[in-house]
Structure 1
């Protein structure tokens, strides 16, 4: 069976963690229906956590992270996939407790695999990756619950992160007026370059007044941070405003009241891209390949090899990453 290179994270005797690039055999991969030769992966915050030994992400080491992978079917025991097909795998257990996309091969269950839709290249699918899929799911939920461009502004928190960046780009493509939230000095120029109409600081959406309601400003929201920022935005939604939430970078706590929901009819939806329905997942990839495909994706993307991963992992853990990092295998 093929020998391949993989980014490998190991636990040391002193309980610290280190990484190296090693050669592995496909015989070492877990059981699964489809063997995929990985061409591209992408770096997500969850991958960075797995790379430093976070047990909330990865229970057992040594391990190869990478929750995203795009490549070519090498072998298949499933009638749904044939050798040579281009495919995408994101989420489920890939890169968490199953050997992930930071290796040249993965073996996974067929139910995790999506065929690369027409209109999308393998590299483009990894510029999008879990971040793009999550953003698409958030936006789809908002649109299905009444959000249209004429309703008003849509605010995106954590707007320079992976999901936030993709949410801004997709919403702009769909004709929405987007307000991006960032705490980075260089974030304003970055977000305005993506097409955001307005950029506000974290402090501007961190209300400490204790008031249960604020002026209704926003028609929609994609929130990636949680905490008091989300609570502030909920109080600032217009009547029948809609909010999709998918992250907890600031906090998992939500210090709010029922007032936004019962006085303004605000609706809030939780999004989980990891285990979402496969048919919804397929539809979102089709959207991302066609009418929702962000323009200028290459301009916000840095491409690295496995050797370049450690530097980028340190950067994302420090909150210094903007745009997307694609890993070329």
Structure 2
């Protein structure tokens, strides 16, 4: 039985193209659970996979899409029953293995998570990889000692997927959030999500650079990297921590040891790809209990498979606000 998918291929000259095609189910990769996909998401990494960036995809033709939600069609694993709602993030699905830009996927049961009570499959993709990463960051920061009364928490790249959901989650949990963004047109939307203040990225970077700067932030969630991460580390309060989860601004890190040896700052790396099952279950449970889907509604847009190639270029250029949902059917 066939299904529709966005098939990404590379020609002899190395050119990458993506077209919607009918795929025979026999072409699906090995796995013990087959899922009928309701929704997928568009993430920065998806943009790279659809354009050939970063060397993430090695084998073509390929079906991208690093996260998806849907219902079980077939299962050889006792944990999942036919008709059960599930969500997948990580495990290099959409990179090394065919992913969510299709009506159907076959995966290893260990990579799935049962959809938490209170979330629909659409809700799950509003959250998606971005939201799971944001919640993993909050959990790690709190494990490092962060509490709502510690002071302001800086969220960089706040208008993007991870940043906007991190802003909403932190605000709902009682934190005072400073949202840093290079897109001032989104200030009102970020305040609606709960940001207490807006920090202009250009002004932030243009401020005089010192080995150690005035302590401003109790903690930070950074999806930018590069110069932004280097500078904010110098502004974290004594004993504070920074969760580093992305490199939209570059993979470099220009800093010095003073924030670490004079203020005891902790830099925490966040990986959402290979997280253990129990950690993902805990993150999704807390998201279901915390995240206000209705408040995020204005930051969600839906597209079909045919629109993905253009959307991939847009997300790489920093032109996507909030979350872009993909409806394969």
The TM-score with structure 2 as length reference comes to: 0.96
Gaps of 5+ in 1: none
Show the 5 A alignment for 1:15-94. 15-54=14-53, 56-94=55-93
Task: Give secondary structure in 1 for the equivalent of 2:184.
Answer: coil
Q: Residue 88 of structure 1 contacts residue 113 of structure 1 at CA under 8 Å; is this kept in 2? A: yes
Map of 2:98 onto structure 1: 99
* Residue equivalent to 1:176: 175
1:248-327 equivalences in 2 (<5 Å):
248-293=247-292, 295-327=294-326
Total equivalences in the alignment: 328
The alignment status of 1:213 with 2:212, answered yes or no, reads: yes
Distance (Å, rounded) in 1 between the aligned partners of 2:247 and 2:207:
19
TM-score, normalisation: structure 1: 0.96
Counterpart in 2 of 1:228? 227
CA distance in 2, matches of 1:166, 1:192: 12
Q: Is the Cα contact below 8 Å between 2:184 and 2:200 reproduced in 1?
A: no
Deviations 1:36-92 (A, max 9, x none): 111100111111111112252111111110001101111111111111110001111
Q: Which runs of 4+ in 1 moved over 4 A?
A: 207-210, 292-295
CA distance in structure 2 between the partners assigned to 1:319 and 1:257 by the alignment: 29
Residues 206 and 277 of structure 1, relative CA distance in 2, 3 Å threshold: same
What runs of 5+ residues in structure 2 fail to find an aligned partner?
none
SS at match of 1:247: coil
> Is contact 2:193–2:296 with CA below 8 Å preserved after alignment?
no
Does the CA-based 8 Å contact 1:78-1:110 persist in structure 2?
yes
Residue 245 (structure 1) aligned with residue 239 (structure 2):
no
Alignment of 1:153-164 (within 5 A): 153-164=152-163
Shift of 1:298: 2.1
Q: What is the Cα deviation at residue 105 of structure 1?
A: 0.7
2:89 and 2:292 map into 1 onto residues whose CA distance is 18
Q: Deviations over 1:15-51 (max 9, x none)?
A: 2111110000111011001011111001111111111
User: Given the superposition, is the C-alpha separation of residues 55 and 188 from structure 1 closer, same or farther in structure 2, using an over 3 Å criterion?
Assistant: closer
CA distance, structure 2, for counterparts of residue 43 and residue 316 of structure 1: 8
Taking the aligned partners of 2:206 and 2:147, their CA distance within structure 1 comes to: 27
User: Comparing 144-153 with 292-301, which one deviates more in the overlay?
Assistant: 292-301
Change (3 A) 1:189 1:291: closer
Per-residue Cα deviation, 1:223-245 (whole angstroms, up to 9, x for no partner): 01111211111110111111101
Shift of 1:207: 5.9
In structure 1, how many angstroms separate the alpha carbons of the residues matched to 2:269 and 2:259? 17
Cα deviations across residues 159-210 of structure 1 (Å, max 9, x unaligned)? 1111111101101111111111111131222212222111111123326745
- The worse-fitting range, judged by mean Cα deviation, of 147-156 and 299-308 is 299-308
Contact 1:90 1:130 survives alignment (8 Å):
yes
Secondary structure of the residue aligned to 1:186 is helix
Asked whether the 8 Å contact 2:35–2:106 carries over to 1, the reply is yes
Local SS of the residue matching 1:21? strand
